[in-house]
Structures are given as C-alpha cells and as structure tokens.
C-alpha cells in the first residue's frame, strides 16, 4: 500500500512557491488544518524573498483574500493605496500629454481599488504564514509525476517520491509540468518587453497612478510607500512598467546610465522632480498564453502556469490569486463532504469556475494593447474619443474601477469576498 493510501491525511503537492502557489497552500492549510498534508516544493524557497524587487498592484478582491488569510495585516504598513489614476494618450515627442481619463481610486466606501506592494514583502509574509500554519515547505523542485489510479506519484529533483491525491502545477508561464501533462498552450508573442524598476523622485506622488499610452506600449507609474530615511526625511518612490519594442530593449538597457535616465525622464516627466533608479531596470519579454485545459488527471494548473496576459492592466497575478481562491474553496468543500480532492468532479468544477474569467481577461488585455500600442491616426482619434466619453460617464467609470478591483462578475469565491473557508 502506498504512503498516500495508508496515511489518514490526503496529500496535495504544490509545485511552485510564487505568490499564487503560496496563497493556495496557505488557504488549504488554514481551512483543513490536520485534515490535509500540504507540501509546497520550490527551489526558490532557499533564496531570500526580499531579493525580488518587483512590485505588484494587488486589486481589492485579492487584498480581501490576503486579509482573510491573516497575511495582509503583516504587510499593510508597507502597502501603498492607489488613490487616483490618470490616463493619457500621446506620442513621445508631444510637448504636452492631455489627460483623457481620470479615476478616483475607491470602491465600496473608502476601500482603495488596489494597493502597490513589493513582491519581496508579500512573498516573505506568505512563507512565514505557511510555515506557522503547518505547510510542509520543501526547497526543492518537482521533476515529474506518474498517475497511478487513485494517486499521483510526484518525484522531487533529489529523487524522493511523494504519493499525493493532487498535484498543483504553479510553476510559472513556462511550466514544465503542464508540458509533461500533455496540456496544449495557445500563445503568441507581443514583440514588446516590460521594463520594470523602482524610481526615486523628489516629490510625493500622493497615491496617484499614471498610465501614459505611448506608441511603443503603455508606460505605467505606480506609487510605492515612501521610506523613512536615517535623517527622518522621506524617500519618495514609484514602480514603473515601461513597455518597449523588444528589439530596442537591449540597446536601451546597455546605454550609458545618463542616457537611460534621460529616456526615462522623457516618459516619466518631471512633475515629481528629479529622478533616479533605485533598482536596476529588468526587462521581461511579454506574451499571451492560455492552457487548452486547466486540469488533467490528478493535476490542476494555477496562476501563470495556466495563463499569461499582458501587464497593461496589472491583472496577471490577480488572476492567479483568483485561481487560488477558487481551487481552495472547491477542494475544501469537496473534502468536507468526504470527496477525493484530486477526483475528476472536483477538477472539472475548478475548470468551469475559472475558464470564462481567464479567457475574458486575456482577450480584454490583448485588445487594449493592440488598440493603444500604435500610432495610426484614425485609431488614435477613435480611442481618444472613447476615453473622453468614458471620462464623462460616472456609471461606466464606476464599472471599470470595480472591474479593476476584481469585484464584478459571477459570484466570486468566498475568500475574495473576505470570508474564510
Ligand atoms: C512587467 C510585468 C509587470 C507585472 N505587473 C503585475 C501587476 O502589477 N499586478 C499583477 O497582478 N500582475 C502583474 N504581472 C503578472 C505577474 O508577474 C504574474 O502573473 C505572477 O508573478 C505569476 O505568479 P505565479 O505564482 O503564477 O508564478 P511565478 O511567480 O512565475 O512563480 C513560479 C514559481 O515556480 C517555481 N518553479 C518553477 N519550476 C518548478 C518546478 N519544477 N518545481 C517547483 N517549483 C518550480 C519557480 O521557482 C517560481 O518560484 C506583471 C508581469 C510582468 C511581466
């Protein structure tokens, strides 16, 4: 008899301790406690999470989930609420950037539609919470798996085999486990790269996010929490996502630091005063990808392993956190009824719960990028007319801001409503 079959606790192995995988591990363990053995495998668990200097916009729904999981209160003082948002559409050489659309950043009372936080802070808090709640953290990769009837044998990089009821592949956009499961991947490149960096500026951003639609792609300025320095003064900071044509990126990043800074200033503007780079700019090639199925026998895809979208709306990770909320709820409810957490009914429920939302968000972000990343005059005129009209329609603006906050759509999973499982 296998270890899984002889154990009283069903085991779920999660391959990939990015923010999506960690959130799922924590949600399952908090809900099912001793009723489940959650094993989280990722070689990256050996590294200091604070080494990851990227920052993310966490939508209100995802923040409610982190709050329900007891993680948000650990990071709230380092998260910057987005208080309003300004959208412009212009060319780089234009002397002024007319504002076409503004949003006040609140949904449901005083709740901001999103907060900015560094990946390092959030990952560290999730790892601590996973450890405290009894998730089995293994700093090792998953090499492969073999389904054997009512279990899947998961092989770790060092050769150890863990029998499990379910393997969750949360191993990122280039998921090897997705490939091994024979799940097809529909994808196309954008021929754009997203350059990310943290920028220090002289003046306070006052919680404002700015998105300049430029012909090479969107240039987003996202406010970060100011840091108190040794002399008591504040270091004002923002995160940028600078989309450029991929064939320009290498030359740009290898250019002299002063030339790179002046290219930054041309896009960022000088409204926040003098600028400097706090982190070294890093480029990520952008593509679209969605798995043909999100499940296979005793396997579920989660986060970027299931879908990769354009960062134009800052929604990629939020979709992954939504996956985690949905899968945790479906597995928890099934296990409370005595069902097999890796059974076909449970996995089909997850596929049905996520397919529409993911396809819709993928298409919207793809369409927005095509509409805005060009300099064709009639297209510019129509989109600017559209933006201007939206700006005059408070009801539509409220809909868009609730959509960005992840608060629209069919009945969201309980965690995204801030309820525990
Ligand atoms: C420029 C840019 C800006 C973005 N901005 C935002 C934003 O503001 N808001 C937002 O919501 N999204 C944003 N995104 C999207 C976001 O970065 C991703 O959607 C998110 O990081 C995916 O998280 P994940 O946990 O699914 O995967 P990942 O973060 O890719 O984690 C995968 C993990 O799997 C591990 N792994 C790989 N192979 C194995 C294996 N065989 N076994 C075990 N572990 C393995 C890796 O070590 C890694 O830790 C942005 C993306 C880009 C490119």
Q: Is 315 in the pocket of ligand 1 (CB under 6 A)?
A: yes
Cα(18) to centroid(ligand 1), Å: 6
Considering the domain architecture, whether residues 203 and 277 belong to the same structural domain is answered as: yes
Residue whose CA is at the smallest distance from ligand 1 atom 49? 18
Of 21-35, 99-113, 120-134, 333-347, give the lowest mean pLDDT range: 99-113
Q: Three-class SS of residue 52?
A: coil
Where does a domain end: 238, 258, 286?
Answer: 286
Considering the domain architecture, whether residues 279 and 134 belong to the same structural domain is answered as: no
Considering the domain architecture, whether residues 234 and 250 belong to the same structural domain is answered as: yes
Residues of the chain with pLDDT > 70: what percent? 91
Considering the domain architecture, whether residues 266 and 121 belong to the same structural domain is answered as: no
Residue 111: predicted pLDDT: 87
- Return left, alpha or beta for 160; rule: phi > 0 is left, psi -120 to 50 is alpha, else beta: beta
Considering the domain architecture, whether residues 307 and 175 belong to the same structural domain is answered as: yes
Q: Is 217 in the pocket of ligand 1 (CB under 6 A)?
A: no
Number of domains in the chain: 2
80/58 Cα distance (integer angstroms): 10
Residue 338 lies in a domain: yes
Of 70-84, 185-199, 348-362, give the lowest mean pLDDT range: 348-362
34/12 Cα distance (integer angstroms): 13
Q: Is 303 in the pocket of ligand 1 (CB under 6 A)?
A: yes
Considering the domain architecture, whether residues 159 and 53 belong to the same structural domain is answered as: yes
336/341 Cα distance (integer angstroms): 10
Cα(48) to centroid(ligand 1), Å: 16
Cα(364) to centroid(ligand 1), Å: 20
Determine the atom of ligand 1 nearest the C-alpha atom of 142: 42
CATH of the domain at 250: 3.30.9.10
Q: Is 404 in the pocket of ligand 1 (CB under 6 A)?
A: no
Q: Is 57 in the pocket of ligand 1 (CB under 6 A)?
A: yes
Cα(12) to centroid(ligand 1), Å: 20
Cα(316) to centroid(ligand 1), Å: 8
In this structure, how many other beta carbons lie within 10 angstroms of the beta carbon of residue 41? 26
Alpha helices in 37-142 (DSSP H): 60-68, 72-75, 119-133
Of 265-279, 281-295, 406-420, give the lowest mean pLDDT range: 406-420
The pLDDT-based confidence of 363 (bands split at 50, 70, 90) is confident
122/56 Cα distance (integer angstroms): 10
Q: Is 26 in the pocket of ligand 1 (CB under 6 A)?
A: no
Q: Is 56 in the pocket of ligand 1 (CB under 6 A)?
A: yes
The pLDDT-based confidence of 8 (bands split at 50, 70, 90) is confident
Residue 140 corresponds to which tokens in the numbers above?
């090792």
- The torsion angle over the Cα atoms of residues 25, 27, 29 and 35, rounded to 10 degrees, is -120
Residue 107 lies in a domain: no
Residue 45 lies in a domain: yes
pLDDT reading at 292 higher than 80 = yes
pLDDT digits 0-9 by tens, 82-130: 998 888 877 777 766 666 667 776 777 788 889 999 999 999 999 999 9
Report the mean per-residue pLDDT for the chain. Answer: 90
Where does a domain end: 267, 286, 305?
Answer: 286
Question: What residues make up the domain containing 202?
Answer: 197-286
- Tell whether pTM > 0.75: yes
Considering the domain architecture, whether residues 254 and 119 belong to the same structural domain is answered as: no
Considering the domain architecture, whether residues 292 and 250 belong to the same structural domain is answered as: no
Considering the domain architecture, whether residues 310 and 256 belong to the same structural domain is answered as: no
Determine the atom of ligand 1 nearest the C-alpha atom of 116: 8
Cα(304) to centroid(ligand 1), Å: 6
CATH of the domain at 129: 3.50.50.60
Residue 388 lies in a domain: no
Considering the domain architecture, whether residues 247 and 219 belong to the same structural domain is answered as: yes
Residue 134: predicted pLDDT: 98
Considering the domain architecture, whether residues 166 and 63 belong to the same structural domain is answered as: yes
Q: Is 406 in the pocket of ligand 1 (CB under 6 A)?
A: no
Residue whose CA is at the smallest distance from ligand 1 atom 29? 18
Cα(231) to centroid(ligand 1), Å: 36
Considering the domain architecture, whether residues 69 and 182 belong to the same structural domain is answered as: yes
Residue 274: predicted pLDDT: 96
Residue 175 lies in a domain: yes
Residue 317 corresponds to which tokens in the numbers above?
């990770």
Residue 177 lies in a domain: yes
Residue 334 lies in a domain: yes
Cα-based distances in Å from 290 to 146, 181, 302, 357, 394 = 24, 15, 11, 12, 33
Q: Is 195 in the pocket of ligand 1 (CB under 6 A)?
A: no
Per-residue three-class SS string for 87-100? EEECCCCCCCCCEE
pLDDT reading at 4 higher than 50 = no
pLDDT reading at 26 higher than 50 = yes
Where does a domain end: 286, 312, 347?
Answer: 286
């Amino acid at each position: 008899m296998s270890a899984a079959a002889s154990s009283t606790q069903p085991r779920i192995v999660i391959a990939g301790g990015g923010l999506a995988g960690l959130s799922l591990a924590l949600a399952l363990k908090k809900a099912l406690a001793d009723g489940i053995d959650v094993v989280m495998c990722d070689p990256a668990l050996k590294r200091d999470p604070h080494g990851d200097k990227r920052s993310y916009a966490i939508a209100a729904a995802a923040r409610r989930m982190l709050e329900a999981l007891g993680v948000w209160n650990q990071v709230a003082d380092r998260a910057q609420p987005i208080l309003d948002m300004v959208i412009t559409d212009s060319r780089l050489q234009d002397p002024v950037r007319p504002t076409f659309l503004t949003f006040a950043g609140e949904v449901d009372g005083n709740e901001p539609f999103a907060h900015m936080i560094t990946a390092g802070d959030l990952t560290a808090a999730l790892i601590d919470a996973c450890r405290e709640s009894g998730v089995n953290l293994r700093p090792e990769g998953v090499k492969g798996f073999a389904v054997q009837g009512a279990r899947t044998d998961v092989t770790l990089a060092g050769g150890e085999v863990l029998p499990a009821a379910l393997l969750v592949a949360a191993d990122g956009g280039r998921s090897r486990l997705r490939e091994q499961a024979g799940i097809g991947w529909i994808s196309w490149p954008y021929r754009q790269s997203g350059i990310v960096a943290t920028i220090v500026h002289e003046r306070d951003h006052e919680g404002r996010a700015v998105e300049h639609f430029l012909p090479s792609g969107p240039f987003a300025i996202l406010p970060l929490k100011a840091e108190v320095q040794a002399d008591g003064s504040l270091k004002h900071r923002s995160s940028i996502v600078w989309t450029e044509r991929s064939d320009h990126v290498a030359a740009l990043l290898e250019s002299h630091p002063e030339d790179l800074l002046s290219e930054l200033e041309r896009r960022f503007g000088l409204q926040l005063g003098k600028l400097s780079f706090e982190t070294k700019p890093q480029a990520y090639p952008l593509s679209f990808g969605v798995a043909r199925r999100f499940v296979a026998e005793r396997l579920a895809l989660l986060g970027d392993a299931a879908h990769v979208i354009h960062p134009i709306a800052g929604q990629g990770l939020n979709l992954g956190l939504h996956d985690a909320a949905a899968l945790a709820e479906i597995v928890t409810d099934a296990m409370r009824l005595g069902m097999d957490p890796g059974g076909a009914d449970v996995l089909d429920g997850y596929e049905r719960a996520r397919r529409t939302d993911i396809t819709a968000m993928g298409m919207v972000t793809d369409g927005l990028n095509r509409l805005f990343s060009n300099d064709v005059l009639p297209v510019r005129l129509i989109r600017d007319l559209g933006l201007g009209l939206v700006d005059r329609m408070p009801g539509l603006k409220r809909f868009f801001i609730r959509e960005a906050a992840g608060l629209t759509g069919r009945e969201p999973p309980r965690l995204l409503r801030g309820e525990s499982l």
